[in-house]
Structure 1
Amino acid sequence: MISNLDLEFRKDMKRLVVPSILQMLIGNSFSLINTLMVGSLGDTAVAVMAAAGQISFILSMILSAIFGIASYITQFYGKGDLVNVKRSFGLMLISSVIVTLIVFTLVSWFKAPILSLFLKDETAVAYGVQYLSVIVFVFLINSIKDVYSNALGSIGRIKLTLVVGIIAMSLNVLLDYVLIYGKFGFPEYGIVGAAWATLLSSMMSGFILIGYVYGKSYYVNVTLKEIFSFDFSFVKKVYATTLPLMFHEGLWSVGNMLYAVAFGHIGVAALATYQLANTFNGYFMMGIFGFAYAAKVMIGQKLSREDPSEAIIYARKFTRIALYSAIVVSIAIFLLSPFLIHLFPNLSSEVQSSFRNVMIIQAIVMVMFFLNNLWIVGMFRAGGDNLYTMNLILVSTWLIALPLVFAGAYLFHWPVEWVYLMFTLEEVSKACIGFYRYRSNKWARNLIQNM
């Protein structure tokens, strides 16, 4: 006989996972379509997008740490404390804007030196500066828009962000086609056209999302006074768990930037391969992103109660789902890898060959990718276990994978496939160490008990 807890689990899963996977499908399709269109311009264009994308990635990771404040929104909302929901939202919004303004200023001043870390060709750097000059403004728009999306997601309301995402992707695809290739009377802008398409679609989706929130008084329609309603005591308590997450994401994103530096040292073809691998990795993992999101919401709300036992039961259920899903996805990658490369006929034979081999490596370690995403993003973050994850990144990224990747690229001059294999050891070591934390249940904490 099915227990009430099982029925509740299934009900919440249906409500949260399907819309979340659709949202991830849209986001990753957005990235894939951009890569496909830019890929038609050749290896250099893909490498330029990869280099500029590292800056966007670092910012997005730092902001995702700030969005860790959404764990408080989840638990306050589960308790029915709407006053503190709005305080948490305000702190998240102000923090996001301040960090983004700092990054915007630094990138605007030092575009060429930053790109030179990844690209050794002066023509490619100049090309990248044009692309990045437009993309930096996307940072500012997303620093506000993504706060509203994450706040809605933290309370399980993602239908609006799903609809807005569909609109944004459709508009971006149309503008990519028009501006990259010069259609309907527009000039042919190449990769810079892709940047403008991203900027315009981000602006439109931001206006629609925030306009709907305030026009319809939809959940997070927080007033200006409420945005600044938090006090120092509140900030101190929230940042006590959020700051380690910021260091965690900062360390991890800088580590990923250094991976790109190492692949860029090998050559343009290697960096293009790394970019393609990351794009498809996100696409294959969109299912677990949906389950991790559902886990964070469902487990977070259970942790707002005095007894964490139901949250731990949920954690076990989600882990089994992640394991079975990863096996299915691994088989799919093995079967599809010979055909995926045909999506990029204009890339060099060197990139096509290395990309096919890297896909096989991804298939072998996909179980590790799935479990890490579920445990770290879904469970540990729900309980504010961010100090542990920061230490986990220090070990797996900085002490294991990065030294091996740099040794392979700079000292031993290994081929791309061998260096990428060293890169995946981050996920392998992270999963092996993280398993013991998952089983200990020390992550299952009530964040708002003393607030």
Structure 2
Amino acid sequence: MNRIYLTPETSRVLSKTIKIGVPVAIQSALVAILALADVLMVGNFGKEATAAVGLASKWHFVAIMIMAGLSTASSILVAQYWGKGDRSTTKAVTLMAAKTGVWILIPVTAAFIIFSNYILNLQTRDIDVIALGSDYLIYASPVLILTHLVIVVESTLRSTGDSFSPLVIAAITIVINISLNYCLINGIYTLEPMGVAGAALATTISRAVQIIVFLGYLGLRQHWLKNTNISNLHTKGLHKKYVSLAIPAVSGAVLWAIGTMLYQVIFGHMGTLELAVFSTLGPFESLCFSLFFGLSVACSVIIGQHLGCAEFNDAQVVSRLFTRTFAILGIATTVILLVFQPWFLSGLGLNTPNYTLLSKPAMTLLSIAVSLKMLNMVIINGILRAGGENKFCLQMDFIAMWLFGLPFTAIAAFILHLDFEQVYAMMLLEEVIKLTLCWRRYNKNLWLRNLTEPVSV
């Protein structure tokens, strides 16, 4: 069996992982805390407000997954071209992703504003929840395009080894967002409480501030992303590469986002209390994943740069190091969540008699599933996607979620009429299927590809 020793190469990988992964992990944690703060702050306005934020934010999540798919495709190419030392092509890929997203998100934003009531009516029958969720969509939708630009720039900076700058700028933005949340949601001085709409407006304002700070940072630093000349670069072949990666990446991300939203629809039709518990656990789960997301980004960047230089053996060594690390950390996280479960439930406001009957077994299931989800994260996002395996990831997501997870969860809820915790358990079947498919694909080594090689046009 292959062993990984603490060689100079391994030490270098660990150092680079810390440099890239820790800032990303901190930023992910801050974003998750912000999402959790939204839910907890509007919770003072009742379970309808909590459910409304959960529902409306899922539609934004679908839009963000479009952005994530586009930035995933660009980050794969950016990491490999940066590893090859090609700054011009790196910038061209970034601009390509930014422009594509803007054109896609203009009609999406318009649809969210014009058809907000009809959209939310698909998820719940509660009139109050629909009205509150509609306010959230209307106030927050204009920020989608700015969010996309931020995500693309952050993705490029991380893929070129700079994850500290996005962290600092995001931290400033999140402090502003939480401060505005407090003022706009609850009201201050002569400002009337806006509730759910206030949470959305705070997000819009803070995101606008973030893009302004980013533009100022790139200008003041005379950053390569701003100053690199690409006027003489032929991008037809590059565009073909980007599209071949972007289409399956966006399709997979949107399918996954819609599937996640359909899980929420299932719990929404089970009852408002069930929906409130599900909506509160979601941001908490994201917070648990934040450390691992940072490590998976570092894994993807390091592997991608090795692949861009055709250093396939080094890429394999890094992949083995990360899979073992994720397995150990996933188990440790499960143990921590189980041991300190009462404290977590109390912090989430889910320890009251109304909530405990549902939240306690759901938290137990979530704790157990964390290990599977973490291992899936590093194999899919950290390894397979780094080698351009986006088509396989699309097929895998469709099989795991749409052929197993969603049908079994819906059957458990609407045909067998099982209890909340049993329905929640059915949802986790998806992760078992994913791990089975992804582990098999990983061991085939088909992801060991250099994507910077010329293609015919």
TM range, smaller chain: over 0.9
Query: Which of the numbers 272, 281, 288 marks the counterpart of 1:277?
Result: 281
Q: Does 2:185 align with 1:163? A: no
Shift of 1:347: 8.6
Q: Does 2:103 align with 1:108? A: no
Compute the TM-score of the two structures, normalised by the length of structure 1: 0.95
**Alpha-carbon distance between aligned partners in 1 of 2:269 and 2:299, rounded to the nearest angstrom:** 39
Matched AA of 1:78: G
Residue matched to 1:21: 25
Query: Which of the numbers 405, 416, 435 marks the counterpart of 1:401?
Result: 405
Residue matched to 2:389: 385
Q: Deviation per CA, 1:127-167, whole angstroms, max 9, x where unpaired?
A: 21111110101212212222111111111212111111111
**Alpha-carbon distance between aligned partners in 2 of 1:213 and 1:95, rounded to the nearest angstrom:** 21
Residue matched to 2:416: 412
**Alpha-carbon distance between aligned partners in 2 of 1:265 and 1:348, rounded to the nearest angstrom:** 22
Query: Which of the numbers 50, 55, 62 marks the counterpart of 2:59?
Result: 55
**Alpha-carbon distance between aligned partners in 2 of 1:195 and 1:346, rounded to the nearest angstrom:** 24
Compute the TM-score of the two structures, normalised by the length of structure 2: 0.94
Alignment of 1:439-450 (within 5 A): 439-450=443-454
Shift of 1:383: 0.6
Q: Does 2:136 align with 1:131? A: yes
Shift of 1:196: 1.2
Query: Which of the numbers 16, 20, 24 marks the counterpart of 1:12?
Result: 16
CA contact (8 A) 1:91 1:230 kept: no
Query: Which of the numbers 433, 438, 447 marks the counterpart of 1:434?
Result: 438
Matched AA of 2:290: M
Per mean C-alpha deviation after superposition, the further-off stretch among 311-320 and 35-44 is: 35-44
Q: Does 2:342 align with 1:375? A: no
Residue matched to 1:356: 360
* Secondary structure at 1:414 match in 2: coil
Shift of 1:4: 2.8
Shift of 1:437: 1.1
CA contact (8 A) 2:345 2:351 kept: no
Unpaired stretches in structure 1, ≥5 consecutive residues: none
Query: Which of the numbers 293, 297, 307 marks the counterpart of 1:293?
Result: 297
Shift of 1:346: 8.5
**Alpha-carbon distance between aligned partners in 2 of 1:241 and 1:173, rounded to the nearest angstrom:** 36
Q: Does 2:219 align with 1:214? A: yes
Shift of 1:109: 2.1
CA RMSD of aligned residues (A): 1.9
**Alpha-carbon distance between aligned partners in 2 of 1:178 and 1:372, rounded to the nearest angstrom:** 39
Matched AA of 2:112: V
Matched AA of 1:147: V
Shift of 1:231: 3.5
* Secondary structure at 1:88 match in 2: helix
Alignment of 1:67-86 (within 5 A): 67-68=71-72, 69-86=74-91
Query: Which of the numbers 307, 313, 325 marks the counterpart of 1:309?
Result: 313
Q: Structure 1 pair 346/3, CA: closer, same or farther in 2 (3 Å)?
A: closer
Q: Does 2:147 align with 1:142? A: yes
Alignment of 1:133-282 (within 5 A): 133-221=138-226, 226=230, 231-282=235-286
**Alpha-carbon distance between aligned partners in 1 of 2:269 and 2:399, rounded to the nearest angstrom:** 24
Residue matched to 2:42: 38
Unpaired stretches in structure 2, ≥5 consecutive residues: none
Residue matched to 2:336: 332
CA contact (8 A) 1:90 1:229 kept: no
**Alpha-carbon distance between aligned partners in 1 of 2:321 and 2:6, rounded to the nearest angstrom:** 14
